[in-house]
Amino acid sequence: MVVRSFDRSGGFTFFRILFVFLGFLALLPAGCGRDDVAVVDFERVVKIEKPSSNNTANPVLRVAVAAMISPKETFVSYRDLLTYIGQKIGRETEFFQRKTYREVNDLLGMGQIDIAFICSGPYAAGRKQYALELLAVPQIQGAHDYRSYLIVKNETFRSIEDLKGRVFAFTDPESNTGKLVPSFWLDRIGERPESFFGRLIYTYSHDNSIKAVSRGLVDGASVDSLIWDYYNRRNPELTGSIRVIRQSEPYPVPPVVASKAMGKNDRDRISEALVSMHTDPEGRRILEHLGFDRFIIPPEDWFENLVRIEKMLATLSEKERGVEKP
């Protein structure tokens, strides 16, 4: 099977443009408006073609991976997995990348992609609105949960309170670990991100946030523990100067979901391919590269955790809009 990537860069590399921009933001004076939220926009360097028509007898399997890690790293990491799934169900695979989690949910809801690897928060918030079908979740080191890590480089920072007035990086506006959790922590001490931090930026991936902290472009960030652990194993020179100063409670591991527009038979075949891939040598090799033990069907208490995340999202959203509950 052939994996066709729709993640294409222009004349500059993604990270060159990203970090030049981040460096520029870091040099801006703190008095340029505490309510400003700088957004890293890489539309020009991450060109995504529109999903193609799907009317053939053996249609292409259209797969998206939410930008939990950067576009380039995402494709490199997941390429073999996508090829494996396509081979198992006898379909060519197309890879789609979007900058935000919401864009991936929108494509799923419209049936313009078939399956996606998404973050837990957007799944919790969008599973009913977009009619998302849960296929499987990865098991990692015997567990099916993960945490939010608050990371810093400066040795004088010991808590989130020490970051008041500093430059902070969120990943995605709807990221559980990359925005929701640190916003919730601040809410517990009567603060809001826009007024607490001196400047906020969005990096749109957890590895970008790790790099921004490592290179001193931001003072702190909140990242997915799974991405942190991945880089800590494979690129310790990047994480060696960074400290984790706070961890969240555990949350369900990001799931693999399908569009409701995909037929049940196809959904079942993909789910079976995922949960059985640890039983053959090629599947085990791919899982090991990703740092996964295997894929599993989610346990029942998965949904209890997701309900709690949904309520947290709703509460914070209402506060941001100035809506008071009766």
Which pLDDT value is given to residue 214? 95
The string of pLDDT tens digits covering residues 167-223 is: 999 998 888 889 988 998 998 899 999 999 999 999 988 989 999 999 999 999 999
pLDDT at position 69, please?
A: 56
Specify the pLDDT at position 101: 81
Q: Band the pLDDT of 73: cuts 50, 70, 90.
A: low
- Higher per-residue pLDDT: 39 or 108: 108
Q: Higher pLDDT residue, 69 or 154?
A: 154
Q: Inform me whether the pLDDT recorded for 150 exceeds 70.
A: yes
pLDDT averaged over every residue in the chain: 78
| Local confidence band at 317 (pLDDT 50, 70, 90 cut-offs) | low
Per-residue confidence (pLDDT) for residue 116, from 0 to 100: 93
Most confident of the ranges 24-28, 141-145, 254-258: 254-258
Does position 257 have pLDDT exceeding 60, yes or no?
yes
Torsion on CA atoms 102, 107, 110, 112, rounded to nearest 10: 180
Query: What confidence score (pLDDT) does residue 241 get?
Result: 94
Residue 84 has pLDDT above 80, yes or no: yes
Q: Distance (Å, rounded) from C-alpha 47 to C-alpha 35?
A: 30
Here the tokens at position 8 are: 């294409």
Confidence check: pLDDT of 323 > 70: no
Give the DSSP per-residue string, 37-55. EEE---TTTSB-PPPPP--
Lowest mean pLDDT among 65-69, 274-278, 282-286: 65-69
* Domains present along the chain, CATH in parentheses: 15-44+145-251 (3.40.190.10), 61-143+254-305 (3.40.190.10)
- Top-confidence range, 56-65, 88-97, 117-126: 88-97
- Is pLDDT above 60 for 52? no
Sign, CA dihedral 248-250-254-259, equals: negative
Q: At a CB cut-off of 8 Å and minimum separation 6, what does 234 contact?
A: none
The whole-number average pLDDT for the span 34-44 is: 38
- Main-chain phi, psi angles of 249, to 5 degrees: -65, 165
Strand runs (DSSP E) across the chain, as ranges?
3-5, 37-39, 61-65, 93-96, 115-117, 133-139, 145-146, 148-152, 167-170, 199-202, 220-224, 243-247, 251-252, 256-258, 294-296
CA pair distance 52, 50, nearest whole angstrom: 6
Share of the chain above pLDDT 70, in %: 71
DSSP-derived secondary structure letter, 162: G
